[in-house]
């Protein structure tokens, strides 16, 4: 089985995002990503979409901590990063962004030790976000522990890598369980990304950042997630088509073939659990064929859950272990999971887009002569078509005898 | 693909609802007979047909029933119900689940259960002002993708555009979806009822899944109905277990468009397919297939 879910725990006192200890969370995440990258880079279909690590916790020289990953692409590679920018314990007092989730073309990168060792970009996009309780050695956070959960699939065509960071201890309202996934979507070449940083009543920034990378730019995929995912009713969905790579015309010209929609990765279920009922975080739904785990948390932004089919492997060397063995999870109810694929099975049913932008859907309103001419039923009535229809003839100025009846039809008018 | 689309448009001055409904009912009966032969595990029935001599004060329309192989917890076949009635200018749509077949609650609402907490009655209004009556009836008997649809438009504003009947096979479960959308400007005026296999209970919907019109105009396939789920968490004492649902998907001859009030507009995307907009809420009906396989790869 190539789909694996595994995790490791960091006890209060040893949980520290802001450090480069080999057993610390930063380098453990880095190691998990490198292991995934090595496996998928070796797949023939990824020859032009290689993943690599540009920066990790090991490169940090100041108060910035995080990673920069390169997404390979046949046109031009790109970078994605997640960096915390403050070393204070984030929690109840958080009133501004303390982290950034960003993206840029690889060609805009200056590979030096500026910005805390992470280098600089001449042109980049960033979303403000934050982590809570990033260091349990600090005052006020000494009771805080954490888990790092990794879900990955190395099946060709459905490559998927997801990390989730969940803190525990102290006041449940103050945690901020975040998640970032890289994945392939059917019909697209490059890597797609979804990052979910929840927001509770105590937090300043929440963020759902969706990216598709087309080789020249990152397309935001913001729109459909609000309308596609029911705002209430505790519905969580997976496999749903989210939007295009891009919502402007390609700089080089016009689409004349339908750009495919980006789908949410099949194992991730995203939606709202904001009303009440669901666990604050560490929720779990047990089924005969698998377990659903809450990667996010109850949030006024989006919650995110992970499907772990029965028999999912966690075959990784210590200190990695089964996520299901943790005692933190709490059985949840009052949730609705909606997906196209049977529980236990992947992938979702393909959802295909017909066409991309307004410019290339030709729209013929029926109440215009031009539109009526294009209409499958009204059009033939207007055109001179001697062979067709068996109409009563006597066309309105037509040379061949229109099949349009001379009486009984108000619309469309003859033209 | 075998599909039929018939224009039943007529002059507004000559248009009365009973005459329209009776004509549509003729097509519906023929299609329904064939569909019942093809889909033996689901029997469709016209429980009430339009009354040809209805006066303006008489309710005139349909009650459609679909008996499913699926049984209710009480052990009787589940019956999907859809009522579409016009009385005067009031156009009412009521979806439901019956607990017996034949459904016994004819004269009362006893036994009539709405498919979800917020999928109840929906209404619109019929214009008695003489207006052009632009109407289509379409159907297909393609195995697995059967549908029957009746749509009309009296003018280009969405309070005069409706899909009074849509009977289609859910592409996920194979059960019938009974749906109707009244002439109404409400974006979620549609009502649909079907049966969800995975959760073992009725599934209802009140809207098509689509983007809002501020996003790029797109034709989205498959056409999906947003499931209406009752939010039990409002009731402190309720402790409903988590449920797993499959989506409701219309046959491939349907798509969703994020434009409103474009009924009877015609759309030609670059792949060569052609689509007719029906109703006031973004539903498209395919009139021509794309010549080649769709798809492609973004570089």
Q: What is the pLDDT of residue A349?
A: 38
- When CB atoms are compared, the residue of A259, A277, A362 closest to B267 is A362
Q: How many CB atoms lie within 10 A of CB B17?
A: 22
State yes or no: pLDDT of A166 exceeds 50.
Answer: yes
State yes or no: pLDDT of A49 exceeds 60.
Answer: yes
Reading the block at residue A93, the tokens are 């007092």
Closest CA–CA distance from residue B147 to any residue of chain A (Å)? 19
Q: Do A411 and B134 touch (CB under 8 A)?
A: yes
Q: How many CB atoms lie within 10 A of CB A171?
A: 12
Q: Tell me what the mean pLDDT of segment A163-168 comes to.
A: 93
State yes or no: pLDDT of A251 exceeds 50.
Answer: no
State yes or no: pLDDT of A252 exceeds 60.
Answer: no
Q: What is the pLDDT of residue B104?
A: 55
**Chain B CA closest to residue A217:** B299
Q: Tell me what the mean pLDDT of segment B252-265 comes to.
A: 83
Nearest to A211 by CA among A185, A174, A173: A185
Calculate the alpha carbon distances from A190 to A30, A34, A66 in Å: 21, 18, 23
Q: Do B216 and A357 touch (CB under 8 A)?
A: yes
Q: A148 falls in which pLDDT band (50, 70, 90)?
A: very high
Say how far apart CA B205 and CA B82 lie, in whole Å: 13
Q: Across chain B, which distance is largest between two alpha carbons, in Å?
A: 62
Q: Which helix (H) or strand (E) holds B288?
A: strand B283-288
- Phi/psi for B26 (5° steps) reads -60, -45
* DSSP-derived pairing of the beta strands A145-153 and B134-140: unpaired
State yes or no: pLDDT of A347 exceeds 50.
Answer: no
Q: Tell me what the mean pLDDT of segment A385-409 comes to.
A: 46
- When CB atoms are compared, the residue of A190, A224, A355 closest to B270 is A355
The answer to whether the CB of A102 falls within 8 A of the CB of A213 is no
- When CB atoms are compared, the residue of B219, B226, B243 closest to A354 is B219
Contacts A342 to B, Cβ<8 Å: 198
Contacts A339 to B, Cβ<8 Å: 244-247
Mean pLDDT lowest among A183-197, A319-333, B182-196: A183-197
Contacts A277 to B, Cβ<8 Å: 232-233
pLDDT digit string, tens, across residues B34-44: 999 998 878 89
Q: How many CB atoms lie within 10 A of CB A232?
A: 14
Q: List, in sequence order, every residue forming a beta bridge with A9; answer none if it has no partner.
A: A147
Q: Which helix (H) or strand (E) holds A307?
A: strand A303-309
Contacts B217 to A, Cβ<8 Å: 357-358, 361
State yes or no: pLDDT of A294 exceeds 80.
Answer: yes
Q: What is the pLDDT of residue A333?
A: 79
Q: A255 falls in which pLDDT band (50, 70, 90)?
A: very low
Q: What is the pLDDT of residue B107?
A: 44
Q: Do B215 and A223 touch (CB under 8 A)?
A: yes
Reading the block at residue B100, the tokens are 């017996």
State yes or no: pLDDT of A13 exceeds 90.
Answer: no
Q: What is the pLDDT of residue A203?
A: 62
The residue with greater pLDDT, B295 or A211, is A211
Q: What is the pLDDT of residue A143?
A: 87
Contacts B262 to A, Cβ<8 Å: 363, 365
pLDDT digit string, tens, across residues B92-120: 999 988 766 555 554 444 567 788 878 88
Chains A–B, number of C-beta pairs less than 8 Å apart: 203
- Range ranked top by mean pLDDT from A227-241, B6-20, B136-150, B219-233: B136-150
Q: Do A214 and B298 touch (CB under 8 A)?
A: yes
Q: Which of B270, B272, B297 to mutate to test the interface with A (most CBs of A within 10 A)?
A: B270
Q: Tell me what the mean pLDDT of segment B196-216 comes to.
A: 79
Strands, E assignment, A72-159: 78-84, 99-105, 109-110, 120-121, 125-129, 145-153
Closest CA–CA distance from residue A367 to any residue of chain B (Å)? 8
């Amino acid at each position: 089985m190539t789909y694996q879910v595994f995790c490791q725990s960091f006890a209060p006192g040893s949980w520290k995002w802001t450090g480069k200890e080999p057993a610390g969370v930063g380098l453990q995440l880095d190691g998990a990503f490198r292991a995934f990258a090595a496996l998928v880079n070796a797949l023939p279909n990824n020859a032009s979409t290689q993943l690599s690590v540009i920066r990790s916790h090991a490169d940090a020289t100041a108060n910035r901590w995080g990673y920069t990953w390169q997404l390979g692409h046949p046109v031009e590679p790109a970078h994605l990063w997640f960096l915390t920018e403050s070393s204070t314990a984030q929690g109840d007092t958080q009133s501004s962004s303390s982290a950034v989730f960003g993206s840029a073309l690889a060609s805009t990168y200056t590979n030096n030790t500026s910005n805390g060792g992470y280098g600089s970009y001449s042109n980049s996009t960033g979303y403000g976000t934050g982590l809570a309780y990033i260091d349990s050695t600090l005052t006020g956070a000494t009771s805080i522990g954490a888990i790092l959960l990794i879900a990955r699939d190395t099946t060709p065509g459905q490559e998927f890598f997801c990390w989730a960071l969940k803190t525990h201890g102290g006041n449940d309202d103050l945690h901020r369980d975040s998640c970032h996934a890289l994945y392939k979507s059917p019909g697209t070449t490059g890597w797609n990304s979804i990052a979910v940083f929840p927001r509770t009543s105590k937090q300043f920034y929440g963020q759902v950042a969706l990216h598709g990378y087309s080789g020249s730019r990152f397309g935001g995929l913001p729109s459909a997630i609000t309308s596609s995912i029911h705002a209430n009713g505790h519905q969580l969905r997976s496999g749903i088509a989210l939007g295009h790579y891009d919502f402007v015309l390609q700089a080089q010209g016009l689409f004349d073939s339908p750009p495919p929609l980006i789908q949410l990765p099949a194992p991730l279920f995203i939606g709202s659990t904001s009303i009440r009922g669901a666990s604050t975080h560490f929720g779990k739904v047990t089924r005969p064929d698998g377990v659903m785990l809450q990667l996010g948390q109850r949030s006024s932004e989006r919650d995110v859950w992970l499907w772990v089919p029965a028999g999912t492997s966690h075959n990784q060397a210590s200190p990695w272990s089964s996520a299901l063995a943790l005692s933190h999870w709490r059985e949840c109810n009052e949730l609705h999971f909606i997906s196209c694929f049977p529980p236990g099975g992947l992938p979702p049913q393909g959802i295909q887009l017909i066409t991309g932008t307004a410019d290339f859907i030709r729209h013929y309103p029926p109440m215009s002569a031009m539109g009526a001419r294009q209409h499958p039923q009204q059009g033939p009535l207007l055109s001179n078509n001697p062979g067709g229809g068996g109409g009563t003839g006597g066309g309105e100025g037509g040379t061949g005898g229109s099949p349009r009846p001379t009486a009984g039809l108000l619309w469309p008018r003859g033209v | 693909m075998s599909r039929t689309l018939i224009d039943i448009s007529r002059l507004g001055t000559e248009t009365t609802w009973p005459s329209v409904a009776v004509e549509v009912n003729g097509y519906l009966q023929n299609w329904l007979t064939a569909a019942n032969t093809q889909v033996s595990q689901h029997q469709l029935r016209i429980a009430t047909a339009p009354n040809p001599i209805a006066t303006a004060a008489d309710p005139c329309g349909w009650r459609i029933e679909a008996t499913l192989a699926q049984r209710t917890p009480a052990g009787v076949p589940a019956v999907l119900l859809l009522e579409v009635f016009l009385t005067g200018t009031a156009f009412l749509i009521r979806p439901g689940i019956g607990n017996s077949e034949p459904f016994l609650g004819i004269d009362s609402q006893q036994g009539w259960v709405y498919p979800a907490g917020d999928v109840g009655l929906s209404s619109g209004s019929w214009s008695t002002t003489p207006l052009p009556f632009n109407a289509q009836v379409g159907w297909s008997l393609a195995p697995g993708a059967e549908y029957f649809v009746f749509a009309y438009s009296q003018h280009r504003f969405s309070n005069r555009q409706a899909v009074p009947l849509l009977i289609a096979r859910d592409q996920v479960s194979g059960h019938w979806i009974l749906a109707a959308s009244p002439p109404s400007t409400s974006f979620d005026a549609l009502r649909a009822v079907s049966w969800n296999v995975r959760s073992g209970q009725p599934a209802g919907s009140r809207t098509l899944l689509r983007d809002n019109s501020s996003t790029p105009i797109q034709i989205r396939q498959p056409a999906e109905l947003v499931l209406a789920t009752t939010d039990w968490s409002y009731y402190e004492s309720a402790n409903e277990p988590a449920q797993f649902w499959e989506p409701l998907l219309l046959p491939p001859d349907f798509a969703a468009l994020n434009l409103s009030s474009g009924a009877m507009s015609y759309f030609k995307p670059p792949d060569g397919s052609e689509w007719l907009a029906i109703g006031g809420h973004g539903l498209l009906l395919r009139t021509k297939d794309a010549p080649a396989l769709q798809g492609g790869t973004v570089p």
